[in-house]
Chains A and B, each alone.
Chain A
Amino acid sequence: METFVTIILILDAMLRNATPLIFAAMAGMFSERSGIVNIALEGKILISAFAGAATAFVTGSPWMGLLAGILATIVFAQLHAFATVTHNGDHVVSGLAINILAAGLTAALGNYWFGQGGNTPNLVNRAEELNARFQPITLPLADWANQNIPYLGYIYFELISGHYVLVYLAFAAVPLCWFILFRTRFGLRLRAVGENPQAVDTAGISVTKIRYAALLMCGILVGFSGVYLAVALTAQFSPNMSAGKGYMALAALIFGKWRPRPTLIACLLFGFLQAIADRSQGAEVFGMAVPVQLVEALPYILTVVLLGGFIGRAVAPKAIGKPYVKERE
């Protein structure tokens, strides 16, 4: 029973860890599928975490925080579009600029507004009757099931029930993104732009509009990611709290070969590895001690191995990272 509980608890943590990755990876998918390299996910997570936490604190409502977080990332996503699409700027440089700006701005503004070394105040404060954090959702019959049905009841209670609404939204977002990308006109055009913008242009569609729209979607989705970190998982913003999650989401996206379901699986795998790393001082495989740091680094190592073409081939959208210039020189 103890092993069973441990496994369920690890899986439960996996879901929590995977949630921000899923949102960010889906966001990255919209961007990269349209041909825009997006290493700015990291910065955008930070921006939405900050905007979300600050707004939630001021308004007392996590939902207002969510709205603010999304609006803030939309602004930065459109800045990325302005640099890369309108001015043909280097996608990587633009992404870096956003990451660095985000790290600095959130800390500086946070300190200016709240004077707590860049942190926002805690979103839950009994003395002032403030509770601006998302609350876990207990699904119907969860307690009853836990007490009356062995094993399955506990799975339902611990693993399925009791998550923040954003966790459920993340899992709902994957089929939704799949539908948008693969079953709608917008998705068709977006994927086409990432493969062959000239063909899209000759089909009478504006490449620029599609790419701006793609980054709008990216902004919306990555907004959820940051807000989840600051307004649900922890109840405050602290500088640099994204801690590489944006890059890990990018790795998951590549690992998932830019497709929704494999990307979801990659996010879950990376979340799982994180859960193991968090629980223990390492693991044992075939009698060999595996240091916890190796478990932590595994997502990145796996991605490099994949990029090297050693386990299948990750074929990026063909036009990725190339500015689309129509008139010949």
Chain B
Amino acid sequence: MSQERIPVWITVVVIPITNVLLAAIAAGFIFWFLNINPLDALRAMVYGAFGSSYGWGYTLYYMTTYIFTGLAVAVAFKCGMFNIGGEGQAYIGALGVGLVCLWLGGKVPFLVLLPISIMAAAVFGALWALIPAWLQAYRGSHIVITTIMFNFIAASLMNYVLINHLKPEGRMSVESAQFHPDAWIPKVHDVLGAMGIQMGYSPLNLSIVFALLVAFAVWVFLWRTRWGYEIRAVGSNPSAAKYGGIHLPKVIILTMLVAGALAGFLALNVVQGEAHQIKLNLVNQMGFTGIAVALMGRNHPFGIVLAALLFGFLTQGGSELQFEYSVDARIVVVLQGLVILFSGALQYMMKHPIEKAYLRLHHRFGRKPGTDKTAEA
């Protein structure tokens, strides 16, 4: 234990920003290698993501998705688990949403259908997390491996359901029928249009409101309820949690159910809000991106909303690059990879140098560090 304490702003602000800068520098080199001026690229990305209501719409649409998948990772993280299964949980959540919309769309009013589809997204996503959670809690099977396996099982299951049950007769592509328009979550540009505000077409829909509410609800859940209390206790010190009478397996299962439900919500945005049908491979790695979002957002809902915005910007801005520079759209994936590498895998690389530098500077110029907040008896 270091006797001299490092202030919070170093840990929460300076080190994460340094890591992102390193990722940005590495990305700069890649752009330069691809014959693109990194600064021009940045300008194009910013314009593409924020330069028009259309760009904003896409950026926020992606942000909505990333909020859900980021939260799904963060809640599990808070309990000391690594949920790599967001991909599969979201996919199965989409099945739940799809079934509700296909069966009830047009038969019941939207306001009746919506709560049911939200429930379906949560229940289907949660159920997909249940088996890995149970295996972790009671059999000690490592949740990283089981959730990876469940992603593939989900893909096969969805393939089967789509081809054998949901694909309308005679259609070539593997996808379900379109939902009845009454089941669609309204687009933001339509809502704004009705209020007389002009906005270009974008996939952005009212799910974003739900996403922000959910982020707030997750914050309340984790920091203001006793379930959240128990989850955080188990995540930071399992022995102390046990001492405190907390039943570890129960908390593990509860956490994963919540995480699965959160991942399932992705379907509201992507399926009920935009595609209006279940498509093959609709999650498209956005579950994995959630891991980057959670890492960047330091597993805090507020941080996750910000990180989701950043990744929404990367996704939308990156796809604009493809038009500007005819670079492959998947350059975005490179950017995500670099962020995970530097903010995640190499997060300790800069920690010691920065902390040392701070202590040296503080010794030279300031008061003795660490005396302000630590009380001696």
Contacts and interface: CB of A to CB of B under 8 A. Distances in A.
Determine the main DSSP class of B at the interface with A. Answer: helix
B363 interface: no
B223 interface: no
A103 to B, nearest CB: 5
B139 interface: yes
B139 A309 contact: yes
A121 interface: no
Interface residues of A, number: 51
A105 B35 CA distance: 15
Interface string A239-260: 1000010011011001000000
B342 to A, nearest CB: 8
B332 interface: yes
A98 B336 CA distance: 11
B369 interface: no
A254 B145 contact: yes
A107 B146 contact: no
Contact of A93 (B35, B333, B340, B349): B340
Interface string A96-138: 1111111111011111100001100000000000000000000
B157 A297 contact: yes
A292 to B, nearest CB: 8
B60 to A, nearest CB: 23
A98 B345 CA distance: 10
Contacts of A98: 337, 341
Contacts of A297: 152-153, 155-157
Nearest to A251: B149
Contacts of B347: 89
A108 B35 CA distance: 12
B334 A104 contact: yes
A83 B19 CA distance: 14
B333 to A, nearest CB: 3
A104 B332 CA distance: 7
Given A107-B333, A110-B328, A307-B146, A97 B345 contact: yes
B340 A96 contact: yes
A84 interface: yes
Interface of A: 37, 39, 82-84, 87-90, 92-94, 96-105, 107-112, 117-118, 239, 244, 247-248, 250-251, 254, 291, 293-294, 296-297, 300-301, 303-304, 307-309, 316, 329
Given A100-B333, A251-B149, A254-B145, A304 B345 contact: no
B156 A296 contact: yes
A112 B326 CA distance: 8
Given A100-B333, A308-B135, A309-B141, A90 B156 contact: no
| Chain A interface helix/strand/loop/mixed | helix
Nearest to B147: A304
18 contacts: A82-B346, A87-B346, A87-B348, A89-B349, A98-B341, A100-B288, A101-B333, A103-B330, A107-B328, A108-B328, A111-B328, A111-B330, A118-B328, A248-B152, A294-B160, A300-B152, A304-B131, A307-B146
Contact of A39 (B135, B144, B160, B327): B144
Interface in B292-340: 292, 295, 327-328, 330-338, 340
Given A101-B338, A104-B333, A307-B145, A92 B84 contact: yes
Interface in B122-157: 131-132, 135, 139-142, 144-146, 148-150, 152-153, 155-157
Given A291-B160, A293-B159, A108 B337 contact: no
B327 A108 contact: yes
Q: Which of A93, A100, A105 has the largest number of chain B CB atoms within 10 A?
A: A100
Nearest to B149: A300
Interface in B52-90: 82, 84
Given A101-B338, A293-B156, A304 B330 contact: no
A304 B135 contact: yes
B270 to A, nearest CB: 19
